[in-house]
Structure 1
Amino acid sequence: MSNENVYIALDNKKTVEIDKDIYIKDIAKVRANNPGLQKKIEDLRIYKSKRKENWDYISADEIIQKIEEKYKDININMLGASEVLMEIKSLEDKTGLLQFLKVLAICIILFLGAAIAIINFHEDVNMQMSLEKIYYTVSGEKKDKPLIMTIPYSIGMGVGVAIFFSRVISKSERRRKEPGPMEIELFLYNKDMEQCILNELSNNEDKK
């Protein structure tokens, strides 16, 4: 076992249940030439989650220290992230009815929010007058609320938004697999939030 090289690639984030033992294999990928040693390191308990929902983190130094306490004369090579952010949360109820109600509530909120935003935008720019002027320019006839303009405009706006935020109707398989603008924004938001939480936890640890 002397001078064995062990490579450990840490995950960036791990979601764990309350009051649960966490092993190295749960938060990292371990590689070693010795399969027996690799299995022992993977099964090494590294952390026990708290008894209430919270955020915590495990640093690469803690993992190295735990391994060296148990196994001597090995070379530990840490890859990937230097810290693992731990999201401690209770097990969610994933029943079909509850999930459906959550999705329904979110859809209603998003629909109402988008509708209000569109209404306010059209009021600000006076879109009704713009459509009336376009109708007058094309037909030479003045008409209030020309439906021949407003109906296609409303349909086109809805179809345009659906095309912009969705890749489903694209003929290209590569295009359909690309994330949409909303998915990218959510990904960046989660990444920034997790980095901010990790920085706060690390700073609080340094002050102790």
Structure 2
Amino acid sequence: MEKTVYIRLRHRLQIRPNQSILLKDIAQVIADDDIYEKLCELPLYKVTEQDRNIVVIDVMKVIRAITQLFSNLEVQSIGPAQAIVEVVTKKQKVSFPLFLLVWLLLFIGAALAIMNFHEDVSMQAVQLRIYTLITGEVDSKPLIFQIPYSIGLGLGMILFFNHVFKKRLNEEPSPLEVEMFNYQLDLDNYVALKENKESMKHLDDH
């Protein structure tokens, strides 16, 4: 009697250089108990130095390896057709001077962006006008209005990005995190199509 195995490829996987990729690493597997352990330990790919930092494993390659091991199995694939394997090398520690330089550049860039925006919309003139309308007085430096506005601007940025350093304020993702997530999805889709040799066939291929 033919048995059925269900596999679901993981979207992204991190692995060390020169490490073998097993089926349990790259996919979730549902199978009978008598073959489950053997399936999970099935080697699919050996990472080499030529692979650099990205390897794409196609579901057809996974099904081929499973059916070669168990010819009487019916394999049902659920989910994505490719799994992206990221080869992670040992991370180098970031030097403090480099961190300080990047932080300084970002700080100055953000400050210039805020100041240029305020200049474009004539924020100072608007604040002076609002202060005059509320108090009936003319003041060239209404600090009682400008200081709370500056504090509110900083608090608003914290609420917008939903982070205070590494601490998250709530479980809702920030707009920046959503944009980064969408960018990562587009990047993964590009890599899956570009790096997957089995998804392309050229005229010179035989």
> TM-score with structure 2 length normalisation?
0.83
More deviation, 125-134/159-168: 159-168
The answer (yes or no) to whether the contact 1:5–1:77 under 8 Å persists in 2 is yes
Distance apart, 1:109 and its partner CA: 4.6
> Could you list the per-position Cα deviations for residues 105-134 of structure 1 after superposition, in whole angstroms to 9, with x for gaps in the alignment?
665554333222111101111211111111
- Aligned residue pairs: how many? 197
Does the C-alpha gap of structure 1 residues 36 and 206 become closer, same or farther in structure 2, counting only changes over 3 Å?
Answer: same
The answer (yes or no) to whether the contact 1:31–1:38 under 8 Å persists in 2 is yes
Amino acid at match of 1:157: L
Structure 1 unaligned spans of 5+: 169-174
Distance apart, 1:100 and its partner CA: 7.9
Determine the structure 2 residue equivalent to 1:57.
56
Report percent identity of matched pairs: 33
Q: Is structure 2 residue 150 aligned with structure 1 residue 151?
A: no
Q: How does 1:1-208 map to 2 (within 5 A)?
A: 2-33=1-32, 35-51=33-49, 53-93=52-92, 98=94, 107-166=103-162, 176-202=170-196, 205-207=200-202, 208=205
**In 2: Cα distance, 1:206 partner to 1:128 partner:** 62
Amino acid at match of 2:149: Y
Structure 2 unaligned spans of 5+: none
Distance apart, 1:102 and its partner CA: 8.0
Does the C-alpha gap of structure 1 residues 36 and 108 become closer, same or farther in structure 2, counting only changes over 3 Å?
Answer: farther
Distance apart, 1:142 and its partner CA: 2.2
**In 1: Cα distance, 2:114 partner to 2:106 partner:** 12
> TM-score with structure 1 length normalisation?
0.83
